[in-house]
Amino acid sequence: MGVKSFLTPNGNRKRWYRRYIAQLEVRRRCTWSIFQSIENTGEQDQIKLYDFFNLLMDHFNPNNSKERDLICHMFTEEDNFKDTELEKYCDYESIEILESYAGPHLSFPIKLSHATDLVEAFKLKQQLHARYVLHLLHETKKHLKKLPNIKHVSTSYSKEITICGDLHGRLDDLFLIFYKNGLPSPEKPYIFNGDFVDRGKQSIEILMILFAFQLVYPKVVHLNRGNHEDYVVNLRYGFTKEVMEKYRVHGKKILKMLQSVFSWLPLATLIDHKVLVIHGGISDTTDLEVLSKIERHKFPSTLRLHKKKEKTKQIDAQHSEIKWPNIVKSSNIEATWHSPRSGSFSYSPSLSLMPAYKGKRSASSPTTMTIDRKEISKHVRKSVDEELQKCRRQVGFKETYVEPVSTVSVYESDSDSGENQDCDTDDDERKQIVDILWSDPIAQDGCKSNIARGGGCYFGPDVTEKILQKHRLQMLIRSHECKQGGYEFCHSGKVLTIFSASNYYEVGSNKGAFAKLGPDLVPRFVQYQANKITNSLTMRQRVSTVEQSALKALREKIFAHKSDLINAFKVYDSNQTGFITLSEWATVLESVLNLGLPWRILRPQLIHCSPEGLLRYREWFDELAVCQPLQENIHAHFLEALYRNRSDLEMIFRIIDSDRSGLISFEEFQHTWKLLSSHLNVEITDEAICKMAQSIDFNKDGNIDINEFLEAFRLVDKPNMKDKGTNI
């Protein structure tokens, strides 16, 4: 009877199907929110850590060999060679190609056949020889140096321009674009809008293909810089590791050459003087005339502040509006506070990436105080000195560093005015670049600090209208954000986001897309998904697969804040029953994690509910475990701190690992953690660090393998954990 009633009335079947599709859509949106929130948190952590690096770099003067080996190597190594020095260091002609080499060969000037041979060789998983890589980078740099900051291109009815967004090391996506749209040619011009590298595993292959085609067709292939074309970002998100694993002997030379090449990439492309193509976005102060005159190669990293000369090393309090980094603490100075934004984070902005924005502000924008500059300088100098002395003691440096006393203050000296003016100019130019590489559009009017990423700004429809009118533009095309369909319009169709890396978060999570633009400047889209498996899955199977991956990442995030969560739960559980309500559980999770997620909807996927509707928070964390032997040998509080900051540790390890062997000594490991613990304000004993180091040293050779260290912090579900249902 039930089956008959379901099959016969057409209305019942339609209602059931609509309800089923709606449930899948809710699950999909929750999954999407988890991935994006966690991704933004990672970028935020990168900025916080590098602010700490900048502080050390500006204020630590090494006094002994131990300090120099650790601090000086990590933070004061020269960013740039002069061109002649770089050519000598990266001398490709001195690298021999053995007869046993079976990969593709290149000759210069490069021809179309070489570029197409590269594509075919990479499809066969072949690797390009280091000599050819360096030679190709050398020729690419010579070409890029001739280009303006903003390239001008034009359309015609016979050749539409193809615009591609982020590829992020997904070589299969690039192959699929070429398959669907054709290889670059005079009839098929391309704009690749940055973020070619990181996250994926074939970034170097993508670069070699794009650079080769650009040399073959310099007026057809156009490359914009993205925020991941930055050697500091590459340390954290995988490109540095990829290059060193594929080119163990010459990897450091390749990375140094890439650092220079990235700095010469153009910043934007202008189509028919009407459509602006940039990687991130704009701010209310974006000025194309200023951008066109910047010496872009001065900024190999947008995360690094330029080092000041010795006599101007004091904290620069030139501006009356100041945003304080977390490392500076003083009871006499009121900090700048942010209210949490829905779907985002509450975060004190980075000194290095978060300038003050003029114009309209929402309630979540920072409130800035005006304080006397001399008073600021005195308080900040005192607090910084105290913090640095604490860092030195924790790292193990016994000597007390006394900075030479200057008889002239930064505010009383006229001789430094020229240098300070140069610094101000650099900061203004850097802000222009940061804004176009890191910013994101929002639905609300105004321009405010991008607290989710930690850099750039959020810009509203009014800012888009202002900049478009100012420069007589019709539309802004940008990338920088993953979209489920591969593209998305906003701001009344005047801002278009293009994202070309399919399966970005997980297989089936999103489509990639590229846009084709003709003289009418109306974009047409082609969507795709590189993984063939997704085409054979039902909609429910795709949603479930992606959902489980997102929930796994979320459980890791929750576990990393175990102690903070339990302490917050206890506030609501005054009688120590071990139970709390759903409302209390959701409130605590959001207050501690600040992820802006729909916790009530996610509850069935994360924690069991009793028949009375209460949640057993004491037993919740027992469902997760960290790989042995760490759990048995390390205090729980220390374990959480390590787990929460393992990405920061990996980044520091890879900086210290100068020979790129993948190994660091116990002593380096100990000093690394002590240095990071001063940034995290976590007290760790030598015994705890030693015990963990011995646990990770599986072959007992006195060294720690970086990859084994990371594997030791893999979070796993306990075998006896029952699978939860997937219906929300």
* Residues assigned a catalytic role: 228
The Cα–Cα gap between 19 and 21 comes to 6
For 645-660, letters b (16+ CB in 10 Å) and e give: bbbbbbbbbbbbeeeb
What residues contact residue 503 under an 8 Å CB cut-off, 6+ apart?
170, 509, 510, 529, 530, 531, 534
What residues contact residue 106 under an 8 Å CB cut-off, 6+ apart?
114, 118, 128, 132, 135, 136, 212
The Cα–Cα gap between 558 and 561 comes to 5
**Beta-strand relationship, 512-517 and 161-164:** antiparallel
SS3 state at 166: strand
DSSP at 185? B
What residues contact residue 538 under an 8 Å CB cut-off, 6+ apart?
none
What residues contact residue 371 under an 8 Å CB cut-off, 6+ apart?
320, 322, 333
Tell me phi and psi for residue 170, to 5 degrees.
-90, 90
What residues contact residue 198 under an 8 Å CB cut-off, 6+ apart?
168, 169, 228, 233, 234, 237, 238, 239
Rg (CA), the chain: 27
Instruction: Supply 665's token pair.
Output: 């000594």
Cα dihedral sign, 716-719-721-724 = positive
The Cα–Cα gap between 599 and 34 comes to 10
Cis? peptide before 629, omega within 30° of 0: yes
Return the closest-CA partner of residue 117 out of 130, 128, 131: 128
The Cα–Cα gap between 579 and 600 comes to 16
The Cα–Cα gap between 642 and 615 comes to 28
Instruction: Supply 31's token pair.
Output: 């999954």
The Cα–Cα gap between 616 and 155 comes to 63
SS3 state at 588: helix
Instruction: Supply 162's token pair.
Output: 């193809």
Give yes or no for a contact between 268 and 276, defined as CB atoms under 8 angstroms apart.
yes
SS3 state at 165: coil
**Beta-strand relationship, 161-164 and 190-192:** parallel
Give yes or no for a contact between 329 and 383, defined as CB atoms under 8 angstroms apart.
yes
Q: What angle do CA 114, 118, 120 make, to 5 degrees?
A: 115
SS3 state at 495: strand
The Cα–Cα gap between 719 and 722 comes to 8
As to burial, measured by CB atoms within 10 angstroms (0-12 exposed, 13-18 middle, 19+ buried), residue 601 is middle
The Cα–Cα gap between 429 and 298 comes to 10
Instruction: Supply 712's token pair.
Output: 């030791």
Instruction: Supply 595's token pair.
Output: 């992820």
Q: State how far the alpha carbon of 179 is from the alpha carbons of 88, 164, 167, 173, in Å.
A: 39, 14, 15, 10
Q: State how far the alpha carbon of 673 is from the alpha carbons of 678, 680, 685, 689, in Å.
A: 9, 10, 10, 8
Instruction: Supply 167's token pair.
Output: 């590829």
